[in-house]
Amino acid sequence: MIFMAVNTLLFDLDGTLIDTAPDLAYALNTLLKENGLNEKPYEQIKPMVSHGGKALVAMGFDCDESHAEFSKRHQRLLQIYIDNIDKHSKTFSGIDDLLTLIKQRNMLWGIVTNKPENLTHLLLQKLGINPDVVVCGDSLEYNKPHPAPLLYACAKLAIKAEMCLFIGDDKNDMIAGKNAGIKTVAVTYGYGKVEQDWGYDYLIDTVKELEKWIL
């Protein structure tokens, strides 16, 4: 396999850079208990994390946004999560070493996530993570799978799309990258099961495998 030369790595956040599922699962199960319902198994919650808080509420309560209590439940979920955002969340194994290596090589790196700005910046602050650029789900009019967030990140960093890699654990990450003209890397250690029809350019099982692009 030929590995292209790049100067920038862009990451999805939840399930790619940081393992946030434990705290989101805690928030949902706390909310369920507050409403007199049984907790959901962690393995049932984990695949839903990349789809956001509303998806968690819908799954947990088996309802959609038309339910009279949906908005109230969603806001309560977010508050519980904010209060416990760094309770168990941490970078995936190998990420800290990778980010150190990126800086040593004078490369750039950033985060492109559909997570809202307030939650993203709070989490990064709590964990002491300082990317060169952060684009969130409510930073622009569009979010992933639209290519706009990735192209905006490239513009902010003054780099060409072809000199960048986008790493993610969800089909929407791969679609966004392809539409932006950015090579994509799907990770199998994330929250969803990677399928071949995602259209990724590269597939990796561990963070350490990303070092092959850092020259």
pLDDT per residue rounded down to tens, the chain (215 residues): 556 779 999 999 999 999 999 999 999 999 999 999 999 999 999 999 988 999 999 999 999 999 999 999 999 999 999 999 999 999 999 999 999 999 999 999 999 999 999 999 999 999 999 999 999 999 999 999 999 999 999 999 999 999 999 999 999 999 999 999 999 999 999 998 999 999 999 999 999 999 999 86
Q: Are 191 and 47 in contact (CB under 8 A)?
A: yes
Per 3-state DSSP, the chain is made up of helix, strand and coil in percentages (nearest 5) of: 45, 15, 40
d(Cα 13, Cα 24) in Å, to the nearest integer? 13
Q: What is the pLDDT of residue 64?
A: 95
pLDDT attached to residue 71: 98
Question: What are 53's strand-pairing partners?
Answer: none
Region class of 54: left (phi > 0), else alpha (psi between -120 and 50), else beta: alpha
pLDDT for the residue 1: 55
Annotated active-site residue 12? The verdict is yes
Residue 214 confidence (pLDDT): 86
pLDDT of 108: 98
**In whole angstroms, what is the distance from residue 194 CA to residue 59 CA?**
21
pLDDT, residue 192, reads 84
Measure the CA–CA gap between 22 and 16, rounded to whole angstroms.
14
pLDDT, position 99: 98
Pick the catalytic residue: 12, 19, 23, 169?
A: 12
Query: What pLDDT score was predicted for residue 45?
Result: 97
